[in-house]
Amino acid sequence: MMTLLTTEMKEAAEGCTSSNAAVHVRGLVKRYKDGTEANRGIDLDLSPGELISILGPNGAGKTTFLRQLTTELRPTSGGIEIFGIDAVAAPQQAKQMMGITPQEAGMFESLTVREHFELFARLKRLSRVESRRQTTQVIESLNLVTEAKKRVGLLSGGQRRRVLIGLAFLGHPPLLVLDEPTTGLDPASRLAVWGVIRRAVTDGAAVILSTHYIEEAERLSDRIGVISRGRLIACGSLEELLGCLKRSYRLSYRDPLDPFGKVCERHFASFADAQRQIAHEQFSEYSIARATLEDVYFTLTGERFAERDEIA
């Protein structure tokens, strides 16, 4: 398995100490009773005002990693600090710093959307006035205005997902841990969620999320981490990850002798190399594109990125 943790990436991580990090993880291991290691020696730092997306094949250990951050799972070994708080020794104190969207969670089916938000805002110790203000703000930002008076039990899967996402943002927590937040959302709802996440980051929140959408990771992230077989095998900005590919330019073309045949592909180290090949072969129909995060993902994991079907 190739590892793209470059010297620059390691130096950046080492420069982020527990005293100035929102999340500081070292040597994190989760081993189950049957011997399965869901996480194997993960090191990661996340700063305030930064968003990291976690990508990985199903079963790679993404959700296990996030559940350890949120204190739902206790690590077998290693350390987790949340704004300097030892999350293993003081899980309740660490959890108070977080807004969390799990993959699945039960809700109060008989409450309306507005009642649901106001109840959870009060549980987060917001005043009655502030609870109502933030509830209105979240409902509007997530396009839930027409559903505000509906009972949660009558909502569609996508609407319920937006309610779960909104709960994480109540109280403006300094750390957001979002496990596949936009899975099942239609494109318009996904854009609304992206807007809410971006505003939180702009306001200084640290965000770590897992995702099944390449575009989501590319458009939202300051850094992208790839987990495979329980290990964090790459972490860096999109440009850093793309720069690690030896051949990051893709030439697509049709054979001049078979203009109606299938499209062929070749990869080159530079744009100039691709142009020289075009001139040499005298291609008349072609395109040159920079490699994508999906190409990086395939290089690292040997698997094509499987995006989940959308169910609104």
For residue range 250-260, list pLDDT tens digits in order.
899 887 777 77
Mean pLDDT of 19-42: 92
When pLDDT is cut at 50, 70 and 90, the band that residue 244 belongs to is confident
Instruction: Name the residue with tokens 């949660």.
Output: 152
Mean pLDDT of 279-294: 85
8 Å CB contact between 115 and 107: no
pLDDT of residue 16 exceeding 50: no
8 Å CB contact between 208 and 54: yes
pLDDT at position 3 is: 40
pLDDT at position 205 is: 98
Specify the DSSP class assigned to residue 79.
E
Instruction: Name the residue with tokens 């590919």.
Output: 245
pLDDT at position 265 is: 84
Percent of the chain with pLDDT over 90: 65
When pLDDT is cut at 50, 70 and 90, the band that residue 306 belongs to is low
Check: pTM over 0.85? Answer yes or no: no
pLDDT of residue 38 exceeding 70: yes
* Extended beta strands in the chain, E state: 23-31, 37-46, 51-55, 77-82, 85-86, 98-101, 175-179, 206-210, 223-228, 231-236, 249-253, 264-268, 286-290
Mean pLDDT of 232-260: 85
Longest dimension (CA), the chain: 74
pLDDT at position 147 is: 97
Mean pLDDT of 83-101: 96
Mean of pLDDT over the chain: 88
Phi and psi based region of residue 230 (left: phi greater than 0; alpha: psi -120 to 50; beta: remaining): left
DSSP string spanning 95-109? HTTEEEE-SS----T
When pLDDT is cut at 50, 70 and 90, the band that residue 195 belongs to is very high
Choose among 170, 169, 260, 245: nearest CA to 209. Answer: 169
When pLDDT is cut at 50, 70 and 90, the band that residue 114 belongs to is very high
Percent of the chain with pLDDT over 70: 91
pLDDT of residue 6 exceeding 60: no
Q: What are the pLDDT digits (tens) for 41-74?
A: 999 999 999 999 999 888 889 999 999 999 999 9
